Chains A and B, each alone.
Chain A
């Protein structure tokens, strides 16, 4: 394949692979940021419940 790339006249048409690559890059980064946000939100909820329980105990 690489030899055929060298023999061709212009650059190879590999735009689809570039799009796939950047979809993975931005997709994984976005998923990671969302996971941080979701975990933080869940912890906030847990914290509220625990503080409520502690308030009732007093």
Chain B
């Protein structure tokens, strides 16, 4: 296997530095929200995690389309990497949302359209990982994964727009949402800067983790092929 590219090492360092700066902006630069207090600061990385999760799932769908056109297994590796990262970050998104909801909505959980669609989306992709495990033939597994990721990606716009098209208590900070949403707030310019920087940082985190996960997938494939060759 190839040794770690220099650019990836640089990306690791830049990503860690960006995360440090984003954390500083969230905890010290952005002002405390007047009503909710400190728990509002969860919002910055909560939304950014949702962004990364959705990037992952859309990335998996794009990889799936390319795989079906080119029939090259490397796109299956890319798709799997994207789904795995998407799952980790949507999990963060859902759990932090629940933690925020406890003092603001006075409940850990409610079957609101946004929370429900996000949970269904997470379950769809957890099922993707589980179902892949049950398919032995690599080409069949890749074909299944590609089709599943394309169909599963329909849950991404559904989740994103659920807070905009259905009656919901989930606040919409960007654009207009349901006026009955509980926990909405107007962002000050410093809050907006912290928010935008968090999104920027998490995009770097996604790229960095994605690259590492693709390399791991390539290595797994290489070991698997060597193992088959040894067994022959």
Contact = CB atoms under 8 A, between A and B. Distances in A.
Nearest to B42: A21
A54 to B, nearest CB: 6
Contacts of A25: 45, 49, 92, 96
Contacts of A28: 88, 91-92, 95
Given A21-B100, A28-B88, A2 B230 contact: no
Contacts of B38: 11, 14-15, 17-18
Contacts of B147: none
Give chain B's interface residue range (CB within 8 Å of chain A): 35 or more
Given A40-B216, A50-B227, A2 B183 contact: yes
A55 B99 CA distance: 55
Give chain A's interface residue range (CB within 8 Å of chain B): 20 to 34
Nearest to B26: A22
Contacts of A8: 35
B149 to A, nearest CB: 20
Nearest to B226: A50
Interface of A: 1-2, 5-6, 8, 11-15, 17-18, 20-22, 24-25, 28-29, 32-33, 36, 39-40, 43, 46-47, 50-51, 53-54, 57
Closest 8 CB pairs of A and B: A1-B106, A14-B39, A21-B42, A11-B37, A18-B38, A17-B39, A14-B37, A12-B37
Given A14-B37, A17-B99, 16 more contacts: A2-B105, A5-B35, A11-B36, A15-B38, A17-B100, A17-B103, A21-B96, A22-B41, A25-B96, A28-B91, A32-B88, A39-B220, A43-B220, A43-B223, A47-B1, A47-B222
7 contacts: A1-B104, A12-B36, A21-B100, A32-B88, A36-B213, A47-B223, A47-B226
